[in-house]
Amino acid sequence: MEPIITLENVSFSYKINEKTTVPVLKNISFSIFPGEYVAIIGHNGSGKSTLSKHLNGILMPDNGDVWVHDLNTKDAKKKREIRKSVGTVFQHPDNQIVATIVEEDIAFGLENIGVPREEMKKRVDEALNVVKMSQFRHRPPHHLSGGQKQRVAIAGVLAMQPDCIVFDEATSMLDSFGRKEVLQVMRKMNNMGMTIITVTHHMSEAAEADRIIVVEGGQIVMDGPPREIFKHKQKLEDLQLEVPSVSQMAEGIHSQFSDFSSELIQEDEFIDEVDKFAKVGVI
């Protein structure tokens, strides 16, 4: 299978002035394949946001290359095509919402690229349906909750029909309810075949993905399925990261009740395990 995004020996520094540069990414290589759900994690300042901005040419490498399909992000003429393939949902929903009515906001990007009216209506309807915001289509976005606004922003990106969506700390401004709403939408879109990349410092969020890439000091230090990654508790602690709180609780219960699985990482599976034990009257 051909990758959607390929990074080849990518290095990048921020230029502060003529003399000062801040090296951030150091020789990074990996590929993202169609249908993957990937979480990029790392502690503050590890370079994950800088990395995510390389995935569709918001930033470009000083050395090495980023390919979106067969398009090099350094090719200025291909910028529009690249952004069409890989869309981004940013941290602040307010900065992404441009119109005063929800459905107009979702249609905005489509109008810009000249999508015909009928097609536009169809895409707006579908996108609203996926993010479960159809009943809010005539509302002003500023009356919505943070999670609802972020779902409108997601619908705007989704309506452009990208191959892949990058969520750059897209839940970090939301309360736990809003975060859950957005996580459900990510999982739903991935189940529909959309490739998802989420940059997050929430381990519970990373646990929902199928693959985790751990960044430290601008390099990739771990890359694998969540269940594998979260086995390396000490290594994660050394990287100033934690295993999800669900894993910690599961281990605690396992130490008292050995039949209770110690290998749980997702909230839903933890709840299922508790239910199972409650039914047989152990807990």
Site residues, ligand ADP (CB under 6 A): 14, 22, 24, 42, 44-50
In the complex with ligand ADP, the residue whose CB is nearer, 24 or 158, is: 24
Beta strands in the chain (DSSP E): 5-15, 21-32, 37-41, 63-68, 71-72, 86-89, 164-168, 195-199, 211-216, 219-224
Q: Could you give the CA distance from residue 6 to residue 40 in angstroms, rounded to a whole number?
A: 15
CB-nearer residue toward ligand ADP: 6 or 50: 50
Q: Minimum Å distance from CB 7 to ligand ADP?
A: 15
CB of 78 to ligand ADP, least distance (A): 24
CA distance 146 to 140: 13
* Contact (Cβ atoms closer than 8 angstroms) between residue 181 and residue 175: no
For the bound state, the minimum distance from the C-beta of residue 204 to ligand ADP, rounded and expressed in Å, comes to 18
* Tokens coding 36: 């993957």
**DSSP strand pairing (21-32 vs 86-89):** unpaired
When the beta carbons of 86 and 246 are compared against ligand ADP, the nearer one is 86
CA-wise closest residue to 157 among 56, 254, 230 = 56
Taking the least distance from each CB to ligand ADP, the nearer of 50 and 56 is: 50
Distance of closest approach, residue 200 Cβ to ligand ADP, in angstroms = 10
Q: Annotate 200-218 with DSSP letters as a single string.
A: -S-HHHHTTSSEEEEEETT
Nearer to ligand ADP, 47 or 109 (CB): 47
**Separation between Cα atoms, residue 58 and residue 70, nearest integer Å:** 17
CB of 168 to ligand ADP, least distance (A): 8
